[in-house]
Amino acid sequence: MRVLLLTLFCLTLTAQDIAVRAEKLYTVSGAMITDGVIIIQKGKITAVGKASDIQVPEGMKVLRHKVAVPGLIDGHSTVGFSGLLNQPHDQDQVERSAPMQPELRAIDAYNPKDPLVRFLSNRGITTVHTGHGPGALISGQTLIAKTFGNTIDETVMVPEAMIAATLGDSIRNTEGKAPGTRSKAMAMLRSELLATQDFMKKRRVAKSGQEPDRSLRMEALIQVLRRERPLLITAQKSIDIMGALRLAKEFNIQLVLDGASDAHLLIQEIKTSGVSVIIHPLMTYPRGEMENMNLETPSLLQKAGIPFIFQSGYEAYVPKTRVVLWEAGMAAGNGLSFDQTLYAVTLGAARLLGIQGRVGSLEVGKDGDLALFTGDPFEWTTRCTGTIINGRLVSDGEALKD
């Protein structure tokens, strides 16, 4: 076994030119290809099509699998921040010293070598949108990264993706500290955004040499007010969802709803607002703020034409992360078609996160990210038999057999 793992490790570091032949090849951007081939050279896809139409370069390694799909994308996670050991020293997802800290950069805390990152890559997840999680009014920033690499520079695709905020019971404080109520939370958010607008105005009209001092806090929120970065608001109950929608309308900011357990009760309101949804993990427990969760919410969002994707979310107990593939599988069994489900965990996720130019579908020029399976990825008995990231075979299924 040690020899096998060493061989696989060496292969993941060196393999750049590789071909995959699959009985079913789902490109997502086009029709499914029976007996398809995809060729990856120097980490990028250089050819996709039927095996009969593509000449595999002589000497190139060919992997044969039942099903090949684009690498899966986790729409929102805290993996790399909420570590496997579940001890204070590896839990960096929430800083509780103050209720609002938009200046906290995800890139300063992300651990690409945490075993949970590898756990996900072994199951076909090749890209994660992760960072500071729910638990504070504004907990910090998020990033987007690949699930393979030794350093942040190797793995991170987008170092500053969104700013994460939370509304609802999970941030209420009953010990006399802010925010104590929903009204207080909304007032604090509005005040912070108004203060940022004032800071922007002072910068704009200040004479040379009289500009206000730099503020990391304000600079982060300026990007939100300029619609350069979305505000990701975790809100489960309808009252909190409506609060988030009002805030987005008042300040004309790009809002992404996260969680949104009560979304099925507000389909028209969400559609009218034009926001996107990163739906809560469908395998979570229907309790507390999520007591109204509905397994058919993804299909209802789909019918209404509301953009949505799947997430693993924040898991408070070990193993500290869910697997977005299985969350998507629940939607596939509750109203979504196979194609709709696959889209939401690949190209749909890439588009919502703004990384569709590199990942999300199997097209020439995109990153060589693939997830390989023994059958339908959304069937519980199907096994992930390989994961390729940037043209590197990072898992061949052996890790799942130990």
What is the model's pLDDT at position 397?
A: 72
Q: How confident is the model at residue 319 (pLDDT cuts 50, 70, 90)?
A: confident
Q: Where residue 49 sits, what CATH number does that domain have?
A: 2.30.40.10
Structure tokens at 350: 């890439």
Cα–Cα distance between 255 and 229 in angstroms, integer?
9
Over the chain, what is the mean pLDDT?
93
For CA atoms 232, 234, 235, 240, the dihedral sign is negative
Say if residues 28 and 351 touch (Cβ distance below 8 Å). Answer: no
Say if residues 178 and 239 touch (Cβ distance below 8 Å). Answer: no
Cα–Cα distance between 79 and 322 in angstroms, integer?
9
Each residue's pLDDT tens digit, 73-91:
999 999 999 999 989 899 9
Give residues with Cβ within 8 angstroms of 53, minimum separation 6: none
What is the model's pLDDT at position 12?
A: 45
DSSP 100: B
What is the model's pLDDT at position 173?
A: 81
Q: Which residue has the tokens 């590898």?
A: 118
Cα–Cα distance between 287 and 309 in angstroms, integer?
22
Tell whether 252 and 320 lie within a shared domain: yes
Percent of the chain with pLDDT over 90: 87
**What average pLDDT does range 185-202 have in this prediction?**
97
Write the DSSP string, 264-287.
Answer: GG-HHHHHHHT-EEEEPPTTS---
What is the model's pLDDT at position 398?
A: 47
Each residue's pLDDT tens digit, 224-233:
999 999 999 9
Tell whether 57 and 188 lie within a shared domain: no
**What average pLDDT does range 138-147 have in this prediction?**
98
**The pLDDT of residue 327 is above 90:** yes
Question: Which of 266, 317, 320, 328 has the alpha carbon at shortest distance from 292?
Answer: 266
Cα–Cα distance between 215 and 36 in angstroms, integer?
53
Sheet holding 18-25, edge to edge: 44-50, 33-41, 18-25, 61-70, 370-373, 384-389, 392-395
Tell whether 280 and 259 lie within a shared domain: yes
The rounded radius of gyration (Å) of the Cα atoms in the chain is: 22
What is the model's pLDDT at position 177?
A: 84
**The pLDDT of residue 153 is above 50:** yes
**The pLDDT of residue 8 is above 60:** no
What is the model's pLDDT at position 340?
A: 98
Tell whether 36 and 132 lie within a shared domain: no
Tell whether 304 and 399 lie within a shared domain: no
Q: What is the pTM of this model?
A: 0.94
Tell whether 296 and 229 lie within a shared domain: yes
What is the model's pLDDT at position 1?
A: 39
Tell whether 25 and 89 lie within a shared domain: no
* Beta strand residue intervals within 54-137, DSSP E: 61-70, 72-77, 125-131
Structure tokens at 232: 């990701």
**What average pLDDT does range 133-158 have in this prediction?**
96
Tell whether 340 and 385 lie within a shared domain: no
Tell whether 85 and 34 lie within a shared domain: no
Say if residues 247 and 190 touch (Cβ distance below 8 Å). Answer: yes
Q: How confident is the model at residue 317 (pLDDT cuts 50, 70, 90)?
A: confident
Structure tokens at 329: 């599988």
Domain count along the chain:
2
What is the model's pLDDT at position 2?
A: 41
Say if residues 287 and 323 touch (Cβ distance below 8 Å). Answer: no
Domain, as residue range, for 25: 1-70+361-402
**The pLDDT of residue 281 is above 60:** yes
Tell whether 148 and 136 lie within a shared domain: yes
Cα–Cα distance between 128 and 117 in angstroms, integer?
9
**What average pLDDT does range 252-275 have in this prediction?**
98
**What average pLDDT does range 276-280 have in this prediction?**
98
